[in-house]
């Protein structure tokens, strides 16, 4: 049997593909973990949000969250860091809270200053800091990070969609440059100091920016340890029918994020931020239970090493109870597999290409803004979204999981071929609890629109 195993594996590799390079997991308190979290922790009816925690999140397996905005001392909404310290003191003695990794968001004043002279949206007239202003900002930021470094919950710091912050400045002051190819290198120039600065003043803390445009990921490795990408699909109209929105955009976006982090190397990894809200102006997709399941699981099939949903304070209590929390609990069930060995080379399906035209065409950039929907036009991509995306993981306990999602807005049938290094005894689709026949390493299954199947193989 010892000699047969390598032969089986070599056969599988020749049949399917080369092994996929696994992204490293995040570590919290020195141990690998798969982040499952939300942008906010507070209860829907909390009067003071920062420091409040909805106890239901503990039951959902949430282990990571954003926790407050670090502002300048004169900021009326986020005055310095005292409010964050106060929130930590409020949770003192909460053993469950101590298990949650927390990310602190930096307000834009730490890396940009107002520039009313710019053209474009009045809400985003910002420019990079001058040397004099930068020195002042760094002095206070050093103080804040050193003060916050005593709280072991803090895993890192973030900023929110810096491409959108500097779009007007780039278009005004770098007119000769293409914004899609130029904004990434520009961000490295303007924000590159933040990562080493954080390592100096809060040792061990990670730099975890939310990057908005899928064309930017490949160019911004110098400014992150953990890349967080977000995409919030828009329907054509408000109250659009279920499955009519372009949910497959999260699959495309997550794949580009993972590819960028893998290419960057250096221990970098990636977390995906799908939507979980139902209170926001615009034609955004307010997910049903089935759609939310897809939005959470689809990025994992593309290699995402964590999920942080945005954003809980924009989710009604009804939406939390009936959509978000059930989907979080489902994710948490399979953490041991998400942290397992990657063996995507041992599985293929007859749906590994894109037969729907919409899985091949995407806008050049999506700013995720209501007041600026300029996107640079539509492009046909080589890194298309397949009809079905899937990943194969082996948990530490020896069990295997095949996660597969339908990326189409219509039902489909898919046939999978597995080349496992053992003879499976049974396979169960865990979300429905139904046995699935597996014969000679093959099986066929039916998927609903944007359907998610989690197969546990023993």
| HEC readout, 299-317 | HHHCCCCCEEEECHHHCCH
404 shares a domain with 328: no
User: Are β-strands 226-230 and 210-211 bridged in parallel, bridged antiparallel, or unpaired?
Assistant: parallel
In a domain, residue 23? The reply is: no
288 shares a domain with 384: no
Q: What angle do CA 344, 273, 211 make, to 5 degrees?
A: 100
In whole angstroms, give the CA distance from residue 354 to residue 364: 19
In a domain, residue 158? The reply is: yes
100 shares a domain with 240: yes
In whole angstroms, give the CA distance from residue 323 to residue 292: 7
379 shares a domain with 297: no
- Domain's final residue, options 293, 311, 333: 333
43 shares a domain with 188: yes
207 shares a domain with 129: yes
Q: Are 34 and 335 in contact (CB under 8 A)?
A: yes
202 shares a domain with 146: yes
Cα separations (Å) of 423 from 226, 347, 436?
Answer: 38, 15, 15
In a domain, residue 444? The reply is: yes
Count of other CB atoms within 10 angstroms of residue 221: 18
- Domain's final residue, options 303, 333, 363: 333
Domain that holds residue 329: 34-333
Give the global pTM: 0.96
Q: Provide DSSP, 233-298.
A: PBPSSTTPPTT-S-TTHHHHHHHHHHHHHHHH-TT-EEEEE-B--S--SSSB----HHHHHHHHHH
In a domain, residue 218? The reply is: yes
In a domain, residue 428? The reply is: yes
349 shares a domain with 308: no
In whole angstroms, give the CA distance from residue 399 to residue 337: 8
420 shares a domain with 389: yes
366 shares a domain with 301: no
Q: Are 259 and 23 in contact (CB under 8 A)?
A: no
Q: Provide DSSP, 371-401.
A: S------EEE-SSPPPSEEEEEEE-TTS-EE
How many domains would you assign to the chain? Answer: 2
CATH of the domain at 406: 2.60.40.1180
270 shares a domain with 162: yes
- Domain's final residue, options 333, 359, 385: 333
In a domain, residue 340? The reply is: no
Digitized pLDDT (tens) for each residue of the chain, 458 residues in all: 333 444 444 443 445 788 989 999 999 999 999 999 999 999 999 999 999 999 999 999 999 999 999 999 999 999 999 999 999 999 999 999 999 999 999 999 999 999 999 988 778 899 999 999 999 999 999 999 999 999 999 999 999 999 999 999 999 999 999 999 999 999 999 999 999 999 999 999 999 999 999 999 999 999 999 999 999 999 988 889 999 999 999 999 999 999 999 999 999 999 999 999 999 999 999 999 999 999 999 999 999 999 999 999 999 999 999 999 999 999 999 999 999 999 999 999 999 999 999 999 999 999 898 888 888 999 999 999 999 999 999 999 999 999 999 999 999 999 999 999 999 999 999 999 999 999 999 999 999 999 999 999 99
In whole angstroms, give the CA distance from residue 407 to residue 208: 28
In a domain, residue 24? The reply is: no
pLDDT at residue 15, as a whole number = 52
In a domain, residue 9? The reply is: yes
Q: Could you tell me the two tokens for 437? A: 């026949």
Q: How many CA atoms lie within 13 A of 147 on its CB side?
A: 16
387 shares a domain with 321: no
């Amino acid at each position: 049997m010892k000699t047969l195993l390598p032969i089986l594996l070599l056969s599988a590799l020749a049949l399917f593909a080369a092994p996929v390079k696994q992204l490293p997991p995040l570590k919290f308190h020195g141990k690998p973990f798969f982040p499952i979290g939300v942008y906010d922790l507070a209860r829907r009816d909390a009067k003071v949000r920062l420091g409040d925690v909805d106890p239901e999140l503990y039951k959902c397996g949430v282990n990571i969250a954003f926790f407050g905005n670090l502002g300048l001392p004169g900021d009326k909404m986020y005055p310095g860091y005292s409010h964050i310290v106060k929130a930590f003191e409020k949770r003192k003695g909460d053993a469950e809270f101590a298990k949650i990794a927390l990310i602190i968001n930096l307000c834009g004043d730490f890396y940009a200053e107002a520039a009313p002279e710019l053209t474009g949206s009045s809400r985003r007239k910002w420019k990079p800091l001058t040397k004099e202003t930068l020195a002042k900002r760094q002095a206070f930021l050093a103080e804040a990070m050193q003060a916050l470094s005593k709280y072991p919950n803090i895993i890192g710091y973030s900023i929110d969609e810096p491409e959108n912050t500097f779009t007007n400045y780039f278009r005004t002051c770098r007119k000769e440059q293409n914004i899609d190819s130029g904004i990434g290198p520009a961000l490295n120039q303007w924000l590159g100091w933040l990562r080493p600065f954080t390592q100096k003043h809060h040792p061990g803390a990670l730099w975890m920016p939310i990057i908005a445009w899928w064309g930017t990921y490949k160019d911004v490795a110098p400014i992150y340890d953990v890349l967080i990408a977000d995409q919030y699909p828009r329907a054509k109209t408000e109250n659009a029918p279920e499955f009519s929105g372009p949910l497959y955009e999260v699959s495309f976006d997550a794949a580009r994020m993972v590819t960028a982090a893998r290419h960057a190397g250096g221990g970098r990894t990636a977390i995906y931020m799908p939507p979980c809200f139902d209170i926001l102006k615009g034609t955004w997709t307010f997910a049903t239970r089935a759609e939310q399941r897809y939005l959470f699981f689809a990025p994992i099939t593309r290699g995402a090493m964590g999920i942080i949903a945005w954003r809980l304070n924009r989710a009604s209590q009804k939406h939390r109870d009936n959509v978000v929390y059930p989907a979080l609990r489902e994710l948490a069930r399979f953490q041991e597999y998400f942290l397992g060995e990657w063996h995507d080379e041992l599985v293929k399906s007859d749906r590994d290409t894109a037969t729907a035209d919409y899985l091949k065409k995407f806008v050049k950039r999506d700013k995720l803004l209501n007041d600026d929907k300029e996107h640079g036009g539509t492009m046909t991509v080589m890194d298309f979204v397949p009809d079905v995306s899937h990943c194969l993981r082996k948990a530490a306990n020896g069990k295997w999981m095949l996660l597969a999602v339908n990326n189409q807005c219509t039902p489909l049938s898919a046939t999978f071929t597995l080349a496992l290094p053992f003879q499976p005894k049974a396979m169960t689709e865990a979300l429905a609890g139904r046995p699935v026949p597996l014969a000679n390493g093959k099986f066929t299954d039916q998927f609903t629109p944007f359907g998610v199947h989690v197969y546990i193989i023993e």
